[in-house]
RNA sequence: GCCGCUGUAGCUCAGAGGCAGAGCAGCUGUUUCGUAAACAGCAGGUCGUGGGUUCAAGUCCCACCGGCGGCUCCA
């Protein structure tokens, strides 16, 4: 059964949509990519007809996504033309279309500044105005080598192409090595704008020289370009670093790079999520443990982390021992497992841990809460028999679904990450484990796409990605099979047959790093947390000082029901207090004046601005308790 | 770590060789107010740090440290 499901699942690869030539989708900040309309063509080995019949179908008759792809691709050429004109000695590398636009990489005699972008953009507009025809043909490699004899990057690209001929595209006096996909003329570029210049390693390898990458934005119309820029501004308003400060949730300081200071309100949010996960752990049969922070490096040598990640671990000497601060929980959990005898009756054993992890991330990658050096995870390791494997994976799927629903995250998309270059275990084990994971996804009625070579060193993994409120995709949970540690830690259990067996081991996290999750969740909700997670659930706003006592009574009544309620007893007028609460995104405002005091009520207002009229306090309490206990995902 | 940009009050920003500024936030006082900002006053700074040029340096130069945007990495 698994095998047939497996084949079905593997087909997911074909439907995978990725920007061609674009960097792999990504990481850290780059994980946040606005969803792209660019659809997949065949990236590798385009057929001859693709190129010789470049303009066989009129540009205007192409599907819109193909037109956009070509506009962006041609814009990259026009950019390179402008750069070569500005710097005749420039070496040009690659210039693909990407989400939202295009880029081109150059090796230049000096660094570009923002004024240069203006100049280049003006020069590009001249090419657009000239409306030059873009022509392409297949030429023999030898001729291409002659044409690009002064262009080392192009020569390297030519060497890497397997065919006997390569694509050659021209417009005006500009020529480029290119597999094609272009507009008919330079006048068909739509609305574009040079965006920024950034460094990028040649072929993405940090051992190679760093080139200057010029990014451009490009959309079919001015309106769409403006809409994208507007969306980017909106995204900035949701930036968790900004909201973290505005909502008084956390701060970062150079005194502890990459280690957030959680403020009281942020801590409520943090602990709210931890409490929630603990509740699920009880329901799903997990056992929580607390293992050490500091281990003799022997542990990390056994697990393989020392060999694979020593540079990213904090290490120091103490009492002539070499100590490594824990970057992951799994070796500690394996050590716990190995410390006792286990019967098959104890399996599956699901060990969860929330304690703090430290990873010495390189300074350049740190980013708010989404890339930190100190964090904790809703991390767990499942030790089970081979028979139990499927059910354990399904159980994790159910839990993920539950969490996504409760948090209002919608349906995740799944990627299956396969064997990386640095890996433990045999190729056969990898293949088997990868198949198992893929099959479990399809038999759970879900689909996945492949992420070749992106697995952990100890095993293949499933990644769960969710799309946030403004269309950006984020990786959250993972499920991984471990092919190394059960053996390297000598894990054994006694089976029904009385013999020793090696358990299977599954790593899984649902929210992943709590820090990162909260960062993502802040941006997803724009700070409008559901009531059960809101640090302050209601603010009581007295109209005049004579209502202060009554406001205090209201707060006490609600606090008695376990609600987090504050009274705004400051000197502001009511309107200002409402504004303040609104900006703090407090779910409910309870305005109390003479009339409300009379009726033991409050004028209820929610953060969408709706006035819900005078409501008796006990009813407000009922409403809030219900909203909290059902974990209602309130409208924003 | 690498490339580029950037660093002035808690926050957002102006000042670009010649006395360190504004708005918001904060504090004090007046106002006691009916659904997104009452009014007045006060306080707030080694202009990221260190060095240099200059009669004079937020301002020019160098180094370092943060931050931002990319690249690389992400167990």
pLDDT for the residue A28: 30
Contact A197, A210 (CB under 8 A): no
pLDDT digits (tens, 9 = 90+) for A136-188: 999 999 999 999 999 999 999 999 988 899 999 999 999 999 988 999 999 99
Q: Could you say which of A461, A496, A525 is where a domain stops?
A: A525
A182 is catalytic: no
Residues A259 and A324 in one domain: yes
pLDDT digits (tens, 9 = 90+) for A90-128: 999 999 999 899 999 999 988 888 788 889 999 999 999
Instruction: Please report, rounded to whole angstroms, the spatial distance between the CA atom of protein residue A258 and the C1' atom of nucleotide B45.
Output: 27
For residues A395-419, one letter each, b for 16 or more C-beta atoms within 10 angstroms of the residue's C-beta and e for the rest, the string is bbbebbbebbebbbbeebbbbbbbb
pLDDT band (50, 70, 90) for residue A232:
confident
Residues A300 and A405 in one domain: yes
Q: In whole numbers, what is the pLDDT of chain A averaged over residues? A: 88
- Which residue among the candidates A72, A107, A213, A330 is catalytic per the annotation? A330
Residues A233 and A252 in one domain: no
pLDDT for the residue A53: 63
Instruction: Please report, rounded to whole angstroms, the spatial distance between the CA atom of protein residue A106 and the C1' atom of nucleotide B53.
Output: 36
In a domain, A592, yes or no: yes
Residues A217 and A330 in one domain: no
Q: What is the 3-state secondary structure (H, E, C) of A141-179?
A: HHHHHHHCCCCHHHHHHHHHCCCCEEEEEEECCEEEECC
The rounded percent of chain A whose pLDDT value lies above 90 is: 78
CATH number at A376 reads: 3.30.930.10
- Neighbour count for residue A624 (Cβ, 10 Å): 23
Beta bridge partners, A140, equal A165
CATH number at A132 reads: 3.30.980.10
Nucleotide nearest to A589 (CA to C1'): B35
Q: At what angle do helices A427-443 and A389-406 cross, to 10 degrees?
A: 50
Question: DSSP 3-state assignment of A515?
Answer: helix
Contact A420, A453 (CB under 8 A): yes
pLDDT digits (tens, 9 = 90+) for A452-470: 999 999 999 999 999 888 8
A377 is catalytic: yes
A281 touches strand B (CB under 7 A): no
Of A160, A152, A80, A65, nearest to A123 by C-alpha is: A80
Cα–Cα dist A31/A301, whole Å: 31
pLDDT at A449 over 50: yes
pLDDT digits (tens, 9 = 90+) for A208-224: 999 999 999 999 999 99
pLDDT: which is higher, A210 or A32 = A210
Q: What is the DSSP letter of A453?
A: T
Nucleotide nearest to A456 (CA to C1'): B75
In a domain, A21, yes or no: no
A636 touches strand B (CB under 7 A): no
Residues A251 and A315 in one domain: yes
Query: Under the phi-then-psi rule, with left for phi > 0, alpha for psi from -120 to 50, and beta for the rest, what region is A277?
Result: alpha
> Tokens 């997803």 sit at which residue?
A524
Domain with A607, as residue range(s), is 538-629
pLDDT for the residue A41: 35
pLDDT digits (tens, 9 = 90+) for A588-611: 999 999 999 999 999 999 999 999
- Which residue among the candidates A335, A461, A547, A628 is catalytic per the annotation? A461
Residues A229 and A247 in one domain: no
Q: Please report, for residues A274, A500, A625, the alpha-carbon distance to residue A424 in angstroms, rounded to integers and kept in the order given.
A: 32, 23, 50
**Chain B, protein-covered positions (CB within 7 A):** 1-5, 11, 26, 29-39, 65-75
Structure tokens at A278: 């603990």
In a domain, A23, yes or no: no
Residues A516 and A590 in one domain: no
pLDDT for the residue A472: 84
Of A42, A350, A7, nearest to A180 by C-alpha is: A42
Assess whether the previous peptide bond of A348 is cis (omega < 30° from 0).
yes
Q: Considering its fold, how many domains does chain A have in total?
A: 3
In a domain, A131, yes or no: yes
pLDDT at A495 over 90: yes
A48 touches strand B (CB under 7 A): no
- A301 phi, psi to nearest 5 deg: -70, -40
ipTM: 0.93
A576 touches strand B (CB under 7 A): yes
Pair type for strands A448-451 and A413-417:
parallel
Structure tokens at A382: 């499942």
């Amino acid at each position: 059964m698994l095998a047939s499901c497996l084949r079905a699942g593997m087909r997911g690869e074909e439907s995978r949509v990725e920007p061609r030539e674009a960097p792999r989708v990504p990481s850290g900040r780059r994980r946040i990519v606005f969803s792209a309309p660019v659809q997949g063509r065949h990236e590798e080995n385009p057929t001859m007809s693709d190129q010789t019949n470049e303009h066989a179908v009129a540009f205007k008759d192409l599907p819109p996504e193909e037109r956009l792809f070509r506009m962006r691709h041609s814009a990259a050429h026009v950019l390179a033309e402008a750069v070569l004109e500005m710097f005749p000695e420039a070496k040009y590398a690659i210039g693909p279309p990407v989400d939202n636009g295009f880029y081109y990489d150059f090796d230049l005699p000096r660094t570009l500044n923002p004024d240069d972008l203006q100049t280049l953009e003006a020069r590009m507009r001249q090419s657009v105005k000239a409306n030059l025809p873009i022509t392409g043909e297949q030429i023999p490699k030898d001729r291409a080598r002659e044409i690009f004899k002064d262009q080392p990057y192009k020569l390297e690209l030519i060497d890497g192409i397997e065919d006997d001929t390569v694509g050659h595209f021209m417009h005006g006096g500009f020529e480029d090595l290119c597999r094609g996909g272009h507009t008919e003329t330079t006048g068909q570029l739509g609305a574009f704008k040079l965006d920024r210049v950034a460094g990028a390693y040649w072929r993405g390898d940090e051992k190679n020289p760093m080139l200057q990458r010029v990014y451009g934005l490009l959309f079919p119309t001015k309106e769409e370009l403006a809409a994208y820029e507007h969306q980017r501004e909106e995204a900035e308003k949701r930036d968790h670093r900004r909201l973290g400060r505005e909502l008084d949730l956390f701060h970062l300081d150079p005194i502890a790079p990459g280690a957030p200071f959680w403020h009281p309100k942020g801590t409520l949010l943090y602990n709210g999520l931890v409490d929630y996960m603990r509740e699920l752990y009880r329901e799903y049969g997990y056992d929580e443990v607390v293992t050490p922070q500091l281990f003799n490096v022997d542990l990390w040598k056994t697990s393989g982390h020392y060999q694979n990640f020593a540079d990213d671990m904090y290490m120091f000497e103490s009492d002539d021992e070499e100590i490594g601060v824990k970057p992951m929980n799994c070796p500690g959990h394996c050590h716990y497992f190995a410390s006792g005898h286990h019967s098959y009756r104890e399996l599956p054993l699901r060990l969860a841990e929330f304690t703090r992890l430290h990873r010495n991330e390189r300074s350049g990658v740190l980013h708010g809460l989404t890339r930190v050096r100190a964090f904790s995870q809703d991390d767990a390791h499942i030790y089970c028999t081979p028979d139990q494997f499927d059910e354990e994976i399904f159980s994790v799927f159910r839990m993920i679904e539950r969490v996504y629903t409760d948090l209002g995250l919608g349906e995740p998309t799944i990627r299956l990450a396969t064997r990386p270059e640095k890996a433990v275990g045999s190729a056969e084990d990898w293949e088997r484990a990868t198949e198992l994971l893929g099959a479990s996804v399809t038999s759970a009625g879900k689909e996945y796409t492949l992420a070749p070579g992106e697995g952990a060193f100890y095993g293949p993994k499933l990644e769960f990605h969710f799309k946030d409120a403004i269309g950006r995709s984020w990786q959250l949970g993972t499920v991984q099979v471990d092919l190394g540690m059960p053996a390297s830690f000598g894990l054994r259990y006694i089976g029904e047959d009385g013999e020793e067996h090696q358990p299977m081991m599954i790593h899984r996290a649902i929210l992943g790093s709590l820090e990162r999750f909260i960062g993502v969740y802040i941006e997803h909700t724009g700070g409008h947390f559901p009531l059960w997670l809101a640090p302050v659930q209601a603010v009581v706003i007295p109209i005049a000082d004579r209502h202060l006592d009554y406001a205090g009574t209201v707060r006490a009544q609600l606090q008695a029901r376990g609600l987090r309620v504050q009274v705004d007893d400051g000197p502001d007028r009511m309107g200002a207090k409402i504004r303040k609460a609104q900006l703090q995104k407090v779910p409910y405002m309870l305005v109390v004046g003479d009339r409300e005091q009379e009726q033991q009520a409050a004028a209820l207002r929610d953060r969408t601005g709706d006035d819900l009229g005078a409501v008796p306090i006990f009813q407000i309490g009922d409403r809030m308790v219900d909203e909290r206990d059902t974990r209602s995902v309130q409208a924003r």
